[in-house]
Amino acid sequence: MKYIIANWKSNKTLEEALEWVEVVGPKLEKQEKVEAIVCPPSLYLADVRKKVEVTGGLLKVGSQNISPFPAGSYTGEETAEMVKQFGDYSIIGHSERRKNFGETDEVLAEKVRQAGSVELKPIFCVQDEHTPIPAGVTVVAYEPVFAIGTGTADTPQNADEVCKKVTESHEGVSVLYGGSVTSENAKAFLEQDHISGLLIGKAALDGEEFIKIVQIALSL
């Protein structure tokens, strides 16, 4: 199973979000080879989920973040349980959250714990093979900071090497690559032995480009 994940970050109006699902949803075929996941801003999760249901229901939905706390007095936060109503996944530990919102390894371990309590699957981001990975994580994304949003991806060989090390030290984990992935370079990453999918930012804002990458994954 390969994971192809769209991380929209803080982008799109609601109208643009729904248009994207209209482009992508009907083009997905029922198959067991590729899990296509979209991670919109949490504000759009409910509407995106509804739109997915009317466009074939094959696209999976995830959030880009969850609260490290359970329900309660935590102004501005969305709990894992809230997200679980609309999606199956949550990105946890993206380097933009670590850098801009001060998220530490301890906070991220709490988020993973919260996700686990409602069976929301974490897509846990690591910067290299040394980033601590909390117990219970089964999907990891290797995202080197130099490659995120820069247009300069890691080499498929180096990415494979890091993904291999993570796989070897965490049994049963699927490791994805993320950082300046496009439909041009996707194949080279997906062909590597230890890369089990892609986490895509900028290129995945375009539904046609996302579908192209899903089709590349299906063709291998």
Residues that bind ligand PGA (CB under 6 A): 7, 143, 148-149, 178-181, 199-203
63 three-class SS: strand
From the candidates 103, 143, 194, 209, give the one annotated as an active-site residue: 143
Active site residue 143: yes
For 58, list phi and psi in degrees, rounded to 5: -95, -15
CB nearer to ligand PGA: pick between 55 and 95: 95
Q: Which value, in Å, is the radius of gyration of the alpha carbons in the chain?
A: 16
Closest-by-Cβ residue to ligand PGA is 201
CB of 176 to ligand PGA, least distance (A): 10
Closest distance of CB 93 from ligand PGA, Å = 11
**Does residue 194 carry a catalytic annotation?**
no
Q: Which is nearer to ligand PGA, 55 or 190 (CB)?
A: 190
Contact 189, 177 (CB under 8 A): yes
**Least spacing, CB of residue 83 vs ligand PGA, in Å:** 18
Residue 72: half-sphere exposure toward Cβ, Cα within 13 Å: 4
Closer to ligand PGA by Cβ: residue 83 or 181? 181
Are 195 and 9 in contact by the 8 Å Cβ rule? The answer is no
H or E stretch including 180?
Answer: none
Per DSSP, 76 falls in state T
- Closest distance of CB 75 from ligand PGA, Å: 27
State the catalytic residues. 94, 143
